[in-house]
Structure 1
Amino acid sequence: MDNIKSSFFPKNHMVSREGEFCNKLYLIKKGLVRGYYMSESNEITTWIDSENEIFTSITGFFKNQKTRENIQCLEDTHCDYLEYDDFKYCLHNFSEMRHIYRIMLEQYYIFAEERVYLSRILSAKKRLDYFIENNNPTVMKRIPKKYLASYLAMRPETLSRLLKEDQ
């Protein structure tokens, strides 16, 4: 299909910034990407995706509104993507795309449920243990510690201490 395009983003590239419109749905072929928002002067990481995962600004893409978050590449990242109009065309004209879309929605809800569950665990140690048990260890090692700490709602010093205790 000619409408699927490829892109490359270098490490630290901002794919999308809060307040912009994001009209692309990306599939990561190789790389690591995070979503985050600013709270006062702190970056709060809300999700981290890697190979074979889809990312976009959910509000920006599906509601055609300004994004609420920033999207940053944590590594050199290679993606395939569909623009919004092409995505909608495929949904309306190809049953296979509707099937893919259903799978995407299911996966998104599973990830959202995991994030909600993780955010309700009061103990920093238990949050880290849960994350380790439920995520690919190879990907975890690639995530910069300050972003992993933010995602797990703890200070980087706390994460470092907990990781040392687990060794």
Structure 2
Amino acid sequence: MPNTKYNHLFSIVFLNSISPLSKSLNKYFSKSLVSKRYKKGDYIVKSGEFCDRIHIIRKGLVRGYFDFNNKEITTWVSVDNEMVTSISGYFKQEPAIENIQCLEDTYTESLSYADMHYALENFKEMSRLNRILMEQYYLSAEYRSFMARIPAAKDRYEYFINLVKPEIVERLPKKYLASLLNIRPETLSRLEKKIAEKV
């Protein structure tokens, strides 16, 4: 059980809540994790840059997006107690294909690609933790894939608000929520008004 002698106690407690870790792995994380503060509007990584860290959000709001025909298309959002990285950039060690931007002042603790692989090779329980995290990622990706294929804007909106934490809907600026749902901002406003009238 982690205690206050560790650095980066937030991430250590968070990771242990997913799968119990040994004292030796907790100590390794304590030494390897790096804390960083990002201001609202800052980028954790931009498209074309190398992303060699996976971040645990202590506090903040982050979105992933890509540019297409001079338009920003938001593909996912994450808040406190969630993990973010450029999947293709981090795991393939190639330039990121998306931008990861902080929409609020954001605080993260992150682990490098090299340190993660050292942990996988030297701590047997790291494999279980990694498997659980990958399962969570694939489930999240599947939900987003389902949502993108729902034809009606109303049904996409209802699917989304029933899927995510309520605080994401409350904190996410409307223009990014509309982009995520692939609808016009004015359509989003009408949908929110109709939902509010039913309550």
Matches within 5 A, 1:149-164: 149-164=178-193
The match for 2:15 is none
% identical equivalent positions: 49
Letter in 1 for 2:38: F
The Cα offsets for residues 69-94 of structure 1, whole Å up to 9 and x where unpaired, read as 00000111111100111111011111
Structure 1: distance between partners of 2:129 and 2:184:
38
Deviation at 1:29, TM superposition (A): 0.8
The answer for unaligned runs of 5 or more in structure 2 is 1-29
Letter in 2 for 1:9: Y
**Corresponding position: 1:30 with 2:59:** yes
The match for 1:5 is 34
The match for 1:93 is 122
Letter in 1 for 2:102: C
Tell me which moved more, 93-102 or 142-151.
93-102
Deviation at 1:166, TM superposition (A): 1.1
Letter in 1 for 2:144: R
The match for 2:17 is none
Deviation at 1:5, TM superposition (A): 1.0
The answer for unaligned runs of 5 or more in structure 1 is none
Tell me which moved more, 130-139 or 140-149.
130-139
Letter in 1 for 2:161: I
What's the Cα RMSD here? 0.8
SS at match of 2:187: helix
The match for 2:144 is 115
Structure 1: distance between partners of 2:46 and 2:85:
11
Which has more helix, going by share of residues?
Answer: 2
Deviation at 1:136, TM superposition (A): 1.2
The match for 1:124 is 153
The match for 2:92 is 63
Structure 2: distance between partners of 1:98 and 1:156:
43
With structure 1 as the length reference, what TM-score do the two structures score? 0.98
**Corresponding position: 1:45 with 2:74:** yes
Deviation at 1:96, TM superposition (A): 2.2
With structure 2 as the length reference, what TM-score do the two structures score? 0.82
**Corresponding position: 1:148 with 2:180:** no
Higher relative contact order (CA 8 A, sep 6+): 1
The structure whose Rg is larger is 2
